[in-house]
């Protein structure tokens, strides 16, 4: 088995299963590397007064992790700047929040070059290299320029947007050209992959070859969809852990016979939390009979606090839940419980299991793992109902959920009413179909299919066999 080197912006040392509170990407990588001999390389999350080219290496839970510190200016321009003020909002269709600063672009290029400089000495000739996410798009090119001949793959955890949006980015061609230094470029869904293909064919004058790969900028890459999953069985088992059962029992008690709607998100404008609150308000206004019988528990962890759009959102969200509660609450009933805290995986599993309805209503989301965690945590005899945004990548797979348009408060309110009234038999059959998918397309299937694709790319490079040029593909 080849050694796998995973590179991501942040490296979060893996904690023993069940004890961690890592975010979606970090969860996915530590689960993927646990069974692979390999290295996880990235930023430590710490700043250093001056870039010193030093790497710190440690082993944690069977994974070797190698990290570097970044200078404050790097953090501002690369991480808070180009990654989170430019690419993140743009790729989530928030052009109104997208900031196009030249200094962000230079910081992004500089940090990607530093990543390559630090990583090169760790790479052995047969290693497979797997670069994660939008922070590191140019890393493949930087590695190639320094002589890396390995199979290198890239996976984008966020959506790839319509080409008209990409074209608003200064030097967008250069960014896309960088994708062509990877042998494989992975997306969560066929929709995101097709949007990338569309850019290449129509903006970059590229060609699609008969084997599905793309040729442009004098290079070839293979775009593919690899829907990410969770450690489904592992997550399901957390509901039976001591802490999981305790959190379930605590929630059941605090529900006091009421039905619970649940939202769990990183606090981010892409997650549609404000729109969800407004839909809930609409539901209560239209369905008087539901008052006092239901409540919404929203658990949102603040992130990216240095970026103003996130501070603004936190303030708006608190004001909104305060207003709705102020107008609607009664002495012994509060409609929205909104908390900003990180919970352990076990606690979350117990809370998911106690919920009658999960509201996963992002305005745009690469995949959304919360939808899958909710399904994995249910009691098969009496499962809850998943309300899922059509704009989450997960909606492509989880068709038995109640699929909604999160921009329409009426649509979401209708779906909540339907979920609350759904007969047990229908809940069971929908849940069964969802669980079958979550269990089959789990995190290990995701890892294995990406690595297999990277291995195939390595084998093709060893014996080059050019594909036939098929000409630009027609858009359907
Ligand atoms: P995220 O935007 O972070 O991930 P998501 O996929 O929903 O979104 O993952 C969030 C993770 O954080 C889940 O595992 C959840 O349990 C955890 N989490 C959220 N709130 C928490 C809390 N209060 N306490 C503890 N844990 C909490 C990005 C993309 C997604 C994509 C993933 C993986 O934006 O679209 O699904 O990467 O590729």
Q: Which of 69, 268, 365, 442 is catalytic?
A: 365
Query: Is residue 475 a part of any domain in this protein?
Result: no
Q: Counting every residue, how long is the chain?
A: 476
The pair phi, psi for residue 178, each rounded to 5°, is -60, -30
Do 203 and 340 belong together in one domain?
no
CB 261 within 8 A of CB 252: no
Domain that holds residue 348: 233-440
Q: What is the pLDDT of residue 61?
A: 74
Helix (H, G, I), strand (E, B) or coil at 3: coil
Q: How far is the CA of 212 from the centre of ligand 1 (A)?
A: 31
Tell me which residue has tokens 């140019």: 138
Rg value, the chain, Cα: 23
Do 285 and 385 belong together in one domain?
yes
> For residue 211, which of 198, 221, 200, 201 has the smallest C-alpha distance?
221
Task: Inform me whether the pLDDT recorded for 376 exceeds 80.
Answer: yes
Nearest CA to ligand 1 atom 23: 342
Q: What is the pLDDT of residue 2?
A: 76
Do 200 and 246 belong together in one domain?
no
Q: How far is the CA of 290 from the centre of ligand 1 (A)?
A: 30
Do 240 and 224 belong together in one domain?
no
The pair phi, psi for residue 474, each rounded to 5°, is -75, 140
The question of whether 442 is a catalytic residue gets the answer no
Helix (H, G, I), strand (E, B) or coil at 339: strand
Do 237 and 316 belong together in one domain?
yes
Do 243 and 147 belong together in one domain?
no
> For residue 334, which of 297, 389, 367 has the smallest C-alpha distance?
297
pLDDT, mean of residues 189-196: 98
Do 386 and 264 belong together in one domain?
yes
Q: How far is the CA of 25 from the centre of ligand 1 (A)?
A: 7
Q: How many domains would you assign to the chain? A: 2
Do 220 and 286 belong together in one domain?
no
Q: What is the pLDDT of residue 3?
A: 87
Task: Inform me whether the pLDDT recorded for 467 exceeds 70.
Answer: no
Do 368 and 347 belong together in one domain?
yes
Cα-Cα-Cα-Cα torsion 453, 457, 463, 469, nearest 10 degrees, comes to 100
- Interval 104-148: pLDDT, tens: 999 999 999 999 999 999 999 999 999 999 999 999 999 999 999
Atom index in ligand 1 nearest the CA of residue 344 equals: 25
Q: Which of 135, 157, 181, 188 is catalytic?
A: 157
The question of whether 365 is a catalytic residue gets the answer yes
Nearest-angstrom CA–CA distance, 221 and 461: 12
Do 176 and 252 belong together in one domain?
no
Do 308 and 391 belong together in one domain?
yes
Q: How far is the CA of 23 from the centre of ligand 1 (A)?
A: 5
> For residue 152, which of 461, 471, 470, 466 has the smallest C-alpha distance?
461
Nearest-angstrom CA–CA distance, 186 and 2: 20
Task: Inform me whether the pLDDT recorded for 33 exceeds 80.
Answer: no
Do 180 and 128 belong together in one domain?
yes
Residues with CB under 6 A from ligand 1: 21, 23-25, 27-28, 157-158, 228, 264-266, 299, 301, 341-343, 348, 365-370, 373
Atom index in ligand 1 nearest the CA of residue 157 equals: 38
Nearest-angstrom CA–CA distance, 300 and 282: 21
Count CB-CB contacts under 10 A for residue 55. 15
Nearest-angstrom CA–CA distance, 215 and 198: 13
């Amino acid at each position: 088995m080849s050694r796998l080197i995973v590179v991501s912006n942040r490296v979060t040392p893996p904690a023993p299963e069940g004890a961690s509170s890592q975010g979606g990407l970090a969860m996915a990588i530590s689960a993927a590397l646990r069974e692979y001999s390999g290295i996880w390389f990235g930023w430590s999350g710490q700043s250093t007064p001056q870039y010193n080219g030093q790497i710190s290496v440690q082993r944690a839970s069977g994974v070797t992790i190698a990290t570097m510190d970044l200078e404050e200016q790097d953090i501002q321009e690369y991480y808070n700047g180009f990654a989170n003020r430019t690419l993140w909002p743009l790729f989530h269709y928030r052009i109104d929040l997208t900031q196009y600063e030249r200094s962000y672009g230079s910081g992004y290029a500089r940090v990607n070059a530093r990543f390559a400089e630090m990583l090169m000495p760790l790479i052995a000739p047969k290693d497979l290299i797997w670069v994660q996410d939008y922070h590191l798009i140019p890393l493949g090119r930087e590695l190639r320029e320094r002589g890396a001949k390995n199979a290198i793959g890239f996976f984008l955890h966020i959506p790839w947007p319509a080409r008209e949006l990409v074209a608003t980015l200064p030097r967008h061609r250069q960014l896309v050209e960088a994708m062509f230094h990877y042998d494989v470029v992975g997306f969560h869904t066929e929709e995101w992959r097709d949007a990338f293909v569309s850019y290449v064919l129509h903006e970059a004058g590229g060609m699609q070859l008969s084997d599905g790969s793309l040729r442009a900028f004098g290079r070839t890459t293979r775009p593919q969809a690899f829907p990410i999953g969770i450690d489904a069985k592992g997550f399901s088992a957390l509901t039976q852990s001591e802490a999981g059962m305790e959190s379930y029992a605590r929630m059941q008690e605090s529900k006091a016979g009421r039905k619970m709607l649940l939202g769990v998100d990183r606090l981010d404008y892409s997650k549609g939390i404000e729109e969800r609150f407004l839909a809930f308000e609409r539901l209560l206004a239209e369905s008087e009979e539901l008052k006092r019988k239901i409540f919404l528990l929203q658990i949102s962890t603040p992130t990216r606090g240095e970026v103003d759009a996130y501070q603004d959102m936190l303030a708006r969200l608190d004001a909104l839940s305060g207003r709705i509660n102020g107008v609607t609450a009664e002495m012994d009933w509060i409609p929205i419980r909104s908390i900003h805290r990180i919970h352990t995986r076990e606690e979350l599993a117990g809370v998911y299991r106690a919920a009658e309805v999960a509201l996963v209503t992002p305005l745009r989301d690469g995949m959304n793992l919360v939808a899958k965690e909710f399904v994995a945590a249910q009691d098969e005899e009496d499962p809850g109902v998943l309300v899922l945004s059509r704009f989450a990548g997960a909606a492509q797979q989880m068709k038995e959920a109640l699929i909604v348009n999160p921009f329409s408060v009426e649509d979401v309110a209708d779906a909540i009413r339907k979920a609350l009234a759904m007969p047990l038999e229908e809940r069971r059959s929908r849940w069964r179909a969802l669980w079958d998918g979550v269990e089959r397309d789990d995190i290990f299937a995701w890892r294995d299919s990406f690595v297999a694709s990277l291995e195939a790319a390595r084998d093709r490079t060893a014996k080059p066999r050019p594909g036939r040029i098929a000409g630009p593909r027609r858009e359907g």
